[in-house]
């Protein structure tokens, strides 16, 4: 497994792999890897010959008051985990390699980047699409794998690929959860013991919505109210609870099979997201 820090070197290695007829796969991450990330790596490994994992805490997707500086990092542990998964190349650039002095070009999926997570994180998705496009341009992967934990992110990236005629195939992997149901996240590390216990309510409220739908609930407002009260009872501060069309992210008037139920909730200063489809 090679560790590459420079774009030029990455490009050279990829060109050589392509010359040898290799199908290239990419899994973009911010590191501090957990089983959720590794499930995507395994999925990608099965579908390509030359697997690239990027580890880059992308400054462009963090707002000024967000956790860029304290975002957890552990490169040597990440490298050990990725070696076990038979990853071919890890790309771990410095911020100044990805955003050279005077960088001023961004790509944005304009409307969908304002919805849901975008409402409270206005530059977030612009940062995500910009860095992902830069990775796609350098690596030109045949496929790239994203987790449905960040459901809106995956929808926005698919939209960028379609709108900009990119040739990469986007594959999504399932949400991996802790034993009690909390979705795995590098940010779970920030939670106190009590917050960690309370945070299971996110999964429980999503499970409740699925069950209520099966039992006949169709009114999205009733669903939001009940989920909000469950979450507030556990000291969660709601950023949003959205019941939307899973392809267009538009709010639904009536719950249907396939409706996306997505939420973002603060426990203390830690903002967690999760989702399910009905």
Active-site positions read 37
Handedness of CA 276, 37, 42, 150 (dihedral sign): positive
Q: Minimum Å distance from CB 29 to ligand AMP?
A: 4
Pair of tokens at residue 5: 């820090």
Q: Minimum Å distance from CB 101 to ligand AMP?
A: 25
- Interface with ligand AMP by CB under 6 A: which residues? 29-30, 36-37, 39-40, 146-147, 149-150, 173, 175-176, 183-186
Give strand pairing partners of 96.
none
Q: Minimum Å distance from CB 184 to ligand AMP?
A: 4
Please enumerate in sequence order all residues whose Cβ is within 8 A of that of 205, keeping only pairs 6 or more positions apart, or say none: 226, 227, 230, 231, 263
Judged by CB, which is closer to ligand AMP: 36, or 236? 36
Judged by CB, which is closer to ligand AMP: 87, or 255? 87
How far apart (Å, rounded) are the C-alpha atoms in residues 151 and 275? Answer: 7
How far apart (Å, rounded) are the C-alpha atoms in residues 195 and 266? Answer: 10
How far apart (Å, rounded) are the C-alpha atoms in residues 265 and 6? Answer: 37
Q: Minimum Å distance from CB 78 to ligand AMP?
A: 10
Judged by CB, which is closer to ligand AMP: 26, or 241? 26
Pair of tokens at residue 137: 């341009």
Q: Minimum Å distance from CB 42 to ligand AMP?
A: 11
Q: Write the DSSP symbol of residue 150.
A: G
Please enumerate in sequence order all residues whose Cβ is within 8 A of that of 132, keeping only pairs 6 or more positions apart, or say none: 28, 144, 157, 160
Judged by CB, which is closer to ligand AMP: 142, or 150? 150
The strands making up 50-55's β-sheet, listed across from edge to edge, are 2-4, 89-91, 50-55, 24-29, 143-147, 169-173
Per-residue b or e along 106-120, where b marks 16 or more CB atoms closer than 10 Å to that residue's CB: ebbbeebbebbbbee
Neighbours of 211 (CB within 10 A): 10
Judged by CB, which is closer to ligand AMP: 49, or 67? 67
């Amino acid at each position: 497994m090679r560790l590459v820090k420079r774009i030029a070197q990455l490009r050279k290695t990829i060109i050589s792999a392509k010359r040898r007829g290799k199908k290239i796969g990419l899994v973009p991450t911010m590191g501090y890897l957990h089983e959720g990330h590794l499930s995507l790596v395994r999925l990608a490994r099965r579908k390509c010959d030359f697997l690239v994992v990027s580890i880059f805490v992308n400054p462009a997707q963090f707002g000024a008051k967000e956790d860029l500086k304290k975002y957890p990092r552990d490169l040597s542990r990440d490298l050990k985990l990725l070696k076990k998964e038979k990853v071919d190349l890890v790309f771990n650039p410095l911020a100044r390699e990805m955003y050279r002095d005077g960088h001023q070009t961004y790509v944005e999926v304009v409307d969908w980047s304002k919805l849901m997570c975008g409402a409270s994180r206005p530059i977030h998705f612009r940062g995500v699409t910009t860095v992902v496009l830069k990775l796609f341009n350098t690596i030109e992967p045949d496929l790239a794998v994203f987790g449905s934990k960040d459901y809106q992110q995956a929808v926005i990236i698919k939209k960028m690929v379609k709108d900009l005629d990119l040739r990469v195939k986007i594959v999504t992997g399932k949400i991996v959860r802790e034993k009690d149901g909390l979705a795995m996240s590098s940010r779970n590390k920030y939670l106190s013991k009590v917050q960690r216990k309370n945070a299971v309510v996110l999964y429980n409220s999503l499970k409740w919505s699925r069950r209520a739908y099966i039992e006949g609930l169709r009114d999205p407002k009733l669903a939001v109210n009940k989920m909000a009260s469950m979450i507030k009872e556990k000291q969660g501060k709601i950023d949003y609870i959205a019941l939307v069309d899973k392809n267009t992210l538009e709010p639904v008037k009536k719950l249907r099979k396939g409706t996306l139920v997505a939420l973002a909730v603060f426990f203390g200063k830690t903002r967690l997201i999760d989702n399910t489809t009905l």
